[in-house]
């Protein structure tokens, strides 16, 4: 029994590690996967698991970008350390909208929008937006090609786009990347800033869920949680490296088409089988 549950947790970790960073909505995938692979645990634990598993995913960002985000690195010059602190200040500014509204309305949003209809609509809507915006920007040169070009106003506005990800099916990375591109950033800067914004957001969300659930676990629960987190971390490393390499020479339109197909699949499944 424990082995089966660990295998389920590992599979969920794979899904989380891939979908958390690619702009295709981890929620949209989880809502489908949950119909076929259900953990044998209490509803409270499962709710906590799907959020706290993100700690494994976010650690991939922390490790992959540790040098870039470390303002105390001895190898950095004084100016490089200052530039690193500027990135963190912009991250803090960008996090404020989602942190405030998420804290106030998270439960209400989950109660009213966590359903397959909302997830499917958001998948399709943002899929269309990715295609439209990429076609619009096809011959436009981005104005922001480095973090020094990213203003505090832009960081805040990108944070406002991140608020949209509070609606299930939107995708945190999808909303922030889309917003950043609309504001004139290059794809690499849009993706990296999206990753950096997720650090405080995901640590905060996981901390709240852990505090609400409590820190007392059965042996099986702890095994399931650690397995999911470790697998999510390992897969996230691969997914992030893939995305950063992919966007050097490609756009986000394939992800848009994928989102549309997944949204239609979600609608079709629930209409036929539910």
pLDDT tens readout for residues 62-79: 999 999 999 999 999 999
Q: Regarding predicted confidence, which is higher, 236 or 28?
A: 236
Around 254, how many Cα atoms within 13 Å sit in the side-chain half-sphere? 7
The reported pTM is 0.90
Query: Distance of alpha carbon 192 from its chain centroid, rounded?
Result: 12
Q: Strand, coil or helix: what is 257?
A: helix
Distance, in Å, from the CA atom of 213 to the CA atom of 235, rounded to the nearest integer, reads 26
Range(s) of the domain holding residue 108: 2-273
pLDDT tens readout for residues 132-166: 999 988 888 899 999 999 999 999 999 999 999 88
**Percentage of the residues of the chain whose pLDDT score is greater than 70:** 100
Q: What is the 3-state secondary structure (H, E, C) of 77-95?
A: CHHHHHHHHHHHHHHHHHH
Distance, in Å, from the CA atom of 103 to the CA atom of 107, rounded to the nearest integer, reads 8
* pLDDT at residue 274 greater than cutoff 80: no
Dig out the tokens for 133 from the structure. 């915006």
pLDDT tens readout for residues 107-133: 788 788 888 889 899 999 999 999 999
Q: How many domains does the chain have?
A: 1
* Residue the block writes with tokens 């979908």: 19
């Amino acid at each position: 029994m424990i082995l089966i549950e660990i295998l389920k947790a590992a599979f969920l970790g794979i899904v989380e590690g891939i979908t958390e960073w690619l702009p295709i909505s981890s929620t949209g995938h989880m809502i489908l996967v949950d119909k076929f692979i259900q953990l044998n645990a209490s509803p409270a634990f499962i709710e906590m698991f799907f959020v706290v598993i993100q700690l494994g995913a976010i650690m991939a960002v922390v490790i992959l970008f540790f040098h870039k985000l470390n303002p105390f690195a001895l190898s950095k010059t004084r100016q490089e350390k200052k530039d690193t602190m500027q990135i963190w200040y912009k991250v803090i500014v960008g996090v404020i909208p989602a942190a405030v509204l998420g804290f106030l309305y998270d439960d209400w949003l989950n109660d009213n929008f966590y359903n397959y209809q909302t997830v499917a609509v958001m998948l399709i809507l943002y899929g269309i937006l990715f295609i439209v915006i990429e076609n619009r920007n096809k011959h436009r040169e981005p104005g922001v090609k480095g973090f020094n070009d990213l203003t505090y106003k832009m960081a805040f506005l990108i944070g406002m786009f991140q608020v949209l990800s509070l609606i299930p099916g939107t995708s945190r990375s999808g909303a922030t990347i889309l917003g950043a591109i609309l504001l004139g950033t290059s794809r690499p800067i849009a993706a990296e800033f999206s990753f950096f914004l997720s650090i405080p957001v995901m640590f905060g969300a996981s901390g709240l869920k852990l505090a609400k659930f409590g820190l007392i676990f059965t042996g099986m629960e702890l095994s399931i949680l650690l397995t999911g987190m470790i697998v999510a971390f390992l897969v996230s490393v691969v997914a992030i490296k893939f995305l950063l390499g992919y966007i050097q020479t490609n756009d986000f339109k394939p992800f848009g088409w994928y989102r549309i197909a997944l949204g239609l699949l979600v609608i079709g499944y629930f209409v036929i089988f539910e």
